[in-house]
A = this chain, B = another copy of it.
Amino acid sequence: MTAFNELMAHQRETEALSQVAGRLGWDQETMMPRGASEQRSEEMAAMEGVLHARRTDPRVGEWLSAATGPDPVGEAQLRHIRRSYARMTKVPASLAQEIARVTSMAQGIWAEARAKDDVAAFLPTLGQVIALRQQEAAALAAGGDLYDALIDDYEPGATAASIGAIFDRMRPRLVALREAVLGASYQPPKLEGVFPKQAQLELAREVATAFGYDWNRGRLDLAVHPFSSGSGDDARITTRVVESDPFNCFYSTIHEVGHACYELGIDPAYRLTPLGAGVSMGVHESQSRIYENQMGRGRAFTGWLHGQMQARFGDFGIADPVAFYGTVNRVQPGFIRTEADEVHYNLHIMMRFDLERALIRGDLAVADLEGAWNDRFKADFGVAVARPSQGMLQDVHWSVGLFGYFPTYSLGNVYAGCLNTALRAAVPALDEDLARGDARSGTGWLRDNLQRHGGLYEPREVIARACGFEPSEEPLLEYLETKFRAIYRL
């Protein structure tokens, strides 16, 4: 056996075990009895210990020194293993353990603080988490920028400077669009009524089928916070049901179908290898977002959805499909990122990006975070935050140490904008298909041009290859301006 083959055999078992750990996480959020949570955390810790030992096994370093990739695919495999090994061996084991311990504890403290709207109860822990992530970033950055070192974990190749430049160009146009839309004399009707749970779930399954979700290699369950989970031949999705807001269920489903279709669309030859999963958070989010927004919230698909909802829920007060299209896309200033419309969403992210970068670089003290958040929110959204659960306590991310993760959501939107331009040019009949509730021509193009590559190319490169042009924010901004000016009759 060559060093390359030995390394790949070792890696394959590691990937299989990593799938097991992921499925354990899925079980925890969907199936696990409540009383099992303490035991489960021990089971998870044991799995993490096994994975960590395998990933930092000194033999991996030896194999990496000796191995050469037999072809470009092999080279890409080595690139991923090399990056992961370098990251994991640069961070001292004691620091990694301390981060795991503190963030696991911090999540509970954050949840309690949010429930009580008690910022002070969370700040000391948040300070600890930031200090630990700063130490980790210092170990990784080797003198470079701390925040860049953290971003790199989620979006290889991206930097605070490159993202900041995109955001600087986006912000004035989004603010202008927001002002125009909120000041428009036409406002789409609001959805009202009660939409029974079982019927929502049945339609959610239809919607997932419409987007080409492969039920033979996945399943749909309920979760408090919808997510998708798993790679290869087992990519599961979850959704949630709010009886007053069926769009929550349907669009959570489409979003997670986008993530799962990416995983299921990867070349089967890459299964259980480093290339066998989505290449970055940003590219992953581009898939969930193009399914959810550019396809799912377009005029064509909402027309089909409107008919389905009428058939299942009867007359729910919005008879005109054009008005319904506006209803699905209503723009409203709101405090909560996860509930934001397409116009507001990226403004939420930009704000978090600026704040967390300042926190990690040491330019903003934890004690000043709440004030900074509330000032910025008032400036960007025009409303004052009344309670911290609407403000800096709303997201779980920082409590679990996810600094550098938020900007990948907006990168995903930017990439989705680019892909949408290319997709529409390549599949001119897409809207006809979507109007019949069949998104498979869109899914097929995305699979053939992007999803199948898995981790073969770097994030920006895989987008550029699929699009035929270098990605930028311009297609997203044009898409948003055109769409929302039409809906609001501007």
Q: A216 at the A/B interface (Cβ < 8 Å)?
A: yes
> Min CB distance, A134 to chain B, in Å?
31
Return the CB mask of A193-236 against B: 1 if under 8 Å, else 0.
Answer: 00000000000000000000011111100000000000011101
Docked complex: A20-44 residues within 8 A CB-CB of B? 20, 23-24, 27, 31-36, 38-40, 42-43
Q: Shortest Cβ distance from A264 into chain B, in angstroms?
A: 9
Quick one: which of B31, B39, B49, B233 contacts A39, CB cutoff 8 A? B233
A291 to chain B, nearest CB (A): 20
Q: How far is A73 from B296 in the complex, measured between Cα atoms in Å?
A: 61
Give chain B residues whose Cβ lies under 8 Å from the Cβ of A31: 31, 219
A46 within 8 A of B: yes
Is the pair B20, A234 in contact by a Cβ cutoff of 8 Å? no
Q: Are A40 and B216 in contact, with the CB atoms below 8 A?
A: no
Interface pair A47/B20, CB less than 8 Å apart? yes
What B residues does A219 contact at CB under 8 A? Answer: 31, 33
Q: Which residue of B lies closest to A32 (CB)?
A: B234
Chain B residues closer than 8 Å to A217, beta-carbon distance: 33, 35-36
Is A283 engaged at the interface, CB distance under 8 Å to the other chain?
no
Any chain B CB within 8 A of the CB of A17?
Answer: yes
The oligomer's copy count stands at 2
Partner of A214, one of B20, B35, B218, B236: B35
> What B residues does A42 contact at CB under 8 A?
12, 16, 272
**Residues of B with C-beta under 8 A to A34:** 216
Within 8 Å CB of A36, what residues of B? 217, 232-234
Q: CB distance A33 to B234 under 8 Å?
A: yes
Q: Is A187 an interface residue (CB 8 A)?
A: no
Across the interface, which residues of B come within 8 angstroms of A232, CB to CB? 36, 39
Q: Which residues of B contact A47 (CB under 8 A)?
A: 17, 20
Given contacts A20-B20, A23-B24, A27-B23, contact A233 B46 (CB under 8 A): no
For residue A182, CB closer than 8 A to chain B, the reply is no
A13 at the interface (CB under 8 A from B): yes
From DSSP, what is the main secondary structure of chain A's interface residues?
Answer: helix
A50 at the binding interface (Cβ < 8 Å): yes
Instruction: Confirm or deny: A394 has a beta carbon within 8 angstroms of a beta carbon on chain B.
Output: no
Measured between C-beta atoms, what is the minimum distance from A429 to chain B in Å?
29
Q: Which residue of chain B is the closest to A219 with respect to CB atoms? A: B33
- Residue A128 at the chain B interface, CB threshold 8 Å: no
B46 touches A20 (CB 8 A): yes
Is A19 an interface position by the 8 A CB rule? yes
B35 touches A24 (CB 8 A): no
Q: A271: CB under 8 A from chain B?
A: yes
Chain B residues contacting A50 (CB-CB under 8 Å) are 17, 50
- Whether B24 contacts A43 by the Cβ 8 Å rule is no
A21's nearest neighbour on chain B, judged by CB, is: B20
B13 touches A49 (CB 8 A): yes
Q: Is the CB of A271 within 8 A of B39?
A: yes
Q: Which residues of B contact A272 (CB under 8 A)?
A: 39, 42
Q: Tell me the bound Cα distance from A45 to B49 in angstroms.
A: 18
**Chain B contacts for A234, CB-based, 8 A:** 32-33, 35-36, 39-40
CB distance from A401 to the nearest CB of B (A): 24
Q: Report Cα–Cα, A146/B34, bound state, in Å.
A: 45
A215 touches B33 (CB 8 A): yes
Contact with B along A291-329 (1 / 0, CB 8 A): 000000000000000000000000000000000000000
CA distance A380 to B233 in the complex (A): 48
Q: Give complex CA distance A218, B12 in Å.
A: 33
A272 to B39, CA, bound (A): 8
A49 to B12 CA separation, bound complex (whole angstroms): 13
Write the nearest CB–CB distance from A217 to chain B, whole angstroms: 4
A216 near B35 (CB under 8 angstroms)?
yes
Q: Which chain B residue has the least Cβ–Cβ distance from A16?
A: B46
Q: How far is the CA of A216 from the CA of B35 in the complex (A)?
A: 5
A-B contact pairs, 30 of them (CB 8 A): A13-B46, A13-B49, A16-B39, A16-B43, A16-B45, A16-B46, A17-B47, A17-B50, A19-B43, A20-B20, A20-B46, A23-B27, A23-B43, A31-B31, A31-B219, A33-B215, A33-B218, A33-B219, A33-B233, A34-B216, A35-B214, A35-B217, A35-B233, A35-B234, A36-B217, A36-B234, A38-B233, A39-B233, A39-B271, A39-B272
Top 9 nearest A-B pairs by Cβ distance? Answer: A36-B234, A16-B46, A35-B216, A35-B217, A13-B46, A39-B233, A36-B233, A16-B43, A39-B232
